[in-house]
Structure 1
């Protein structure tokens, strides 16, 4: 009680001290005009904003990190509530987007347009996700010398058996589930029948998901849309002639196009003055000289509307939150991020299990939290580490509403963790499932012998050194490895059956290591709803009985490496390769893996 009174006193005093500034902002808002929200996505677009260390900011120079999907969605939702933001301009500057990210943005654009607002989309690289977003715009433009880079969907698998044979490496890997194809990379020369069947289904589903926005948003016939893709790469001007775009423009011409769109279709001005609360929350009212989203050095022409940035709309949201917190404590929902391969320990690349378990335990013990959303974007990894995270998530779900939100992929160990939640929400284009396990090792003795390396050992115990790479499995050890693999597979089935309310046999029928898109997973009962983080937050609030807008906080347990801190590109090629190698070495030490390294890439018509 005393703490509650102290918080009320502190917040009330702060509000009274800021009242003159709020009043001035409100007066300025009465005279402010309408502004266009400008969203610029470039390079690799992250799901969530990333903290940029000071050293990296200095090395990066003027190039700021791309706006994240979460920031873009939050800005669109806030702009939808702001009367003085009648339109949004989405610029895709060589933006590398996944199909699942485009799907989440499409949902946010639909909510924005449902308020009677306009959207203009511009892309200088017309990948599959970019074309889907262009289809959502009232007007869509490409770069005059650009081209359609989406050429279809291709399922690609790489097989290393012959290369390993040349090197003298003998893969001794086992798996359970006909569709658990990770070990096939090392043990086969081509796709198995099950692998090909799964690949065909995924290709059909992903292609349909990429094509649907063009059919609905652009009003194209299926034959016309397929012909445009099959006859590519088409220049942007030809794409406009075929109805994929409305035309071609350079970036400096875009604001004039937005202004023309607003002049042609804007409703007649209302004679009534703006409401004081709307005026006080106007993005323009941030200061007498509010920052503009226009490039520095470029002066606005009379035909160009004023602009606002996502940062200004975020400030508007924070002001509204402060006003609501004066009289009462808002219910809190925490979003915990699980990113990358699941590895054991508390340090390292990917997602160290120790850090995530600690974050989940802290959320369980925090009495201020009403609900938790576990954001999963992981192909899995160590089976043991996945089970530790599942246990922490299960304990949390027993005390508070826990909802799992899927990013691009929630497969194998990632899905193992997700089933501890009360609800699972996934984009239609995400990858879900891969309920299966892999175990074994790479036998390196022939390769070592070829290079003149001799290994001798003295052992005590019939199976000492069973997982050492310098000797092969004995028949008894291979059988023991197979028994451990099957034991964890049964545990996996039990976890999914418990979490999804199914029997063991029902889960086994859709398991066997098979990967599904989110849309297919919904029909099979592996997820509860299609959507992104906003829909997951809705589910969490519904389970917790929260009415109105909660206070949302985000936690990322991952710790960046030294190279990540120093790399000016924030995760460039060298860092990515080293990260993959470090994760591979960490997983190589694990006896059993729940891992599925599949990704969707529609940037250049690939699916791998």
Structure 2
């Protein structure tokens, strides 16, 4: 091989090595770029996650006398407006040294008798623990069933003249599919250990004994509800034959029945009753993680719990 050919091969080899090194360097740089982008997005996600949770669980520190507000909005249940959530807000409101009075603003069709009962009992406990801090219920559109159960624990109940108030009753709802199954030739095969394990199964004919037992159980809970209303309202209550039948009344009518005390909004009660016009919201706000866990838990529960579609409640 001649000298010019050797020189050309050497130069070609050098150029190939330089080109390969450049390609490798570009690949390494690209990999590091991707890595740092992923790291950056992950960092931003963590910061956002922490901020949302901090915002949802931050405590309130304020100066000056104020009216504390806790909102009860929606269906009362462990998976929606829970007793834990409302009780947490009420406790924070009463513990604040600058709280002059507490307003529980209610807009609810009712819900779980257990959750409503727990809130009722906690209101009574807090009023005993903090005798100088009054608690007033203020009704927006609706204060029915379990919502009214909670309101009955308040010192006074304020309504709008067009609010809907009452529905003092208990129900157990579900569905019956036996006719549909017969129509399509579907056979129900239910095997249980325990005569009443398939209690009110929607795919089986109604069992008269089980139905009678359910009515007795509902009546027992109904009497608990009635007692809570009587204890809470006392001599203000003007009982009528249909007061505890599940009917609802307008806010104006509820005042004449003793189910409520007067007309008034949140601003009115804060300004003219509590005499602390500054209203501070103590309603706990869920963070992102709490909402995700709750929604995931509800979906999972509905998938694995065969009784998820049968409900009992104050609504």
TM-score, with normalisation over the residues of structure 1? Answer: 0.36
**Where in structure 1 are there 5+ consecutive unaligned residues?**
1-53, 55-324, 542-546, 566-584, 596-608
Q: 1:392 to 1:449 in 2, by over 3 A?
A: farther
**What secondary structure sits across from 1:338 in the alignment?**
strand
The corresponding residue for 1:511 is 244
Alignment of 1:409-420 (within 5 A): 409-420=142-153
Q: 1:446 to 1:509 in 2, by over 3 A?
A: closer
The corresponding residue for 2:113 is 383
Alignment of 1:178-327 (within 5 A): none
Q: CA deviation at 1:448?
A: 4.4
Structure showing greater radius of gyration is: 2
Q: CA deviation at 1:524?
A: 1.2
In structure 2, C-alpha distance between the alignment counterparts of 1:587 and 1:557, rounded to whole Å: 27
Q: 1:378 to 1:362 in 2, by over 3 A?
A: same
**What secondary structure sits across from 1:506 in the alignment?**
coil
Task: Number of aligned residue pairs: give it.
Answer: 240
Runs of 4+ in 1 over 6 A off after TM superposition: none
Q: 1:508 to 1:390 in 2, by over 3 A?
A: farther
In structure 1, C-alpha distance between the alignment counterparts of 2:146 and 2:138, rounded to whole Å: 15
The corresponding residue for 1:425 is 158
Q: 1:469 to 1:558 in 2, by over 3 A?
A: farther
**What secondary structure sits across from 1:432 in the alignment?**
strand
CA contact (8 A) 1:404 1:536 kept: no
2:313 paired residue among 561, 573, 593: 593
Q: 1:554 to 1:515 in 2, by over 3 A?
A: same
In structure 2, C-alpha distance between the alignment counterparts of 1:379 and 1:340, rounded to whole Å: 7
Given the alignment of the two structures, is residue 335 of structure 1 paired with residue 55 of structure 2, yes or no? no
**What secondary structure sits across from 2:190 in the alignment?**
coil
In structure 2, C-alpha distance between the alignment counterparts of 1:358 and 1:449, rounded to whole Å: 50
Given the alignment of the two structures, is residue 393 of structure 1 paired with residue 119 of structure 2, yes or no? no
Q: 1:330 to 1:364 in 2, by over 3 A?
A: closer
Q: 1:480 to 1:392 in 2, by over 3 A?
A: same
Given the alignment of the two structures, is residue 496 of structure 1 paired with residue 216 of structure 2, yes or no? no
Cα distance per residue 1:414-462 (max 9 Å; x no partner): 1111011001000001111111221243122443454565443322222
As a proportion of its length, which structure holds more helix?
Answer: 2
Alignment of 1:37-186 (within 5 A): none
The corresponding residue for 2:23 is none
In structure 2, C-alpha distance between the alignment counterparts of 1:428 and 1:586, rounded to whole Å: 39
In structure 1, C-alpha distance between the alignment counterparts of 2:75 and 2:285, rounded to whole Å: 11
CA contact (8 A) 1:428 1:518 kept: yes
The corresponding residue for 2:263 is 530
Alignment of 1:18-33 (within 5 A): none
Cα distance per residue 1:163-214 (max 9 Å; x no partner): xxxxxxxxxxxxxxxxxxxxxxxxxxxxxxxxxxxxxxxxxxxxxxxxxxxx
CA RMSD of the aligned region, Å?
3.3
CA contact (8 A) 2:69 2:93 kept: no
The corresponding residue for 1:555 is 282
Q: CA deviation at 1:378?
A: 0.8
Cα distance per residue 1:505-529 (max 9 Å; x no partner): 9265523112111111111111111
CA contact (8 A) 1:393 1:421 kept: yes
TM-score, with normalisation over the residues of structure 2? Answer: 0.66
The corresponding residue for 2:37 is none
Q: CA deviation at 1:496?
A: 0.9
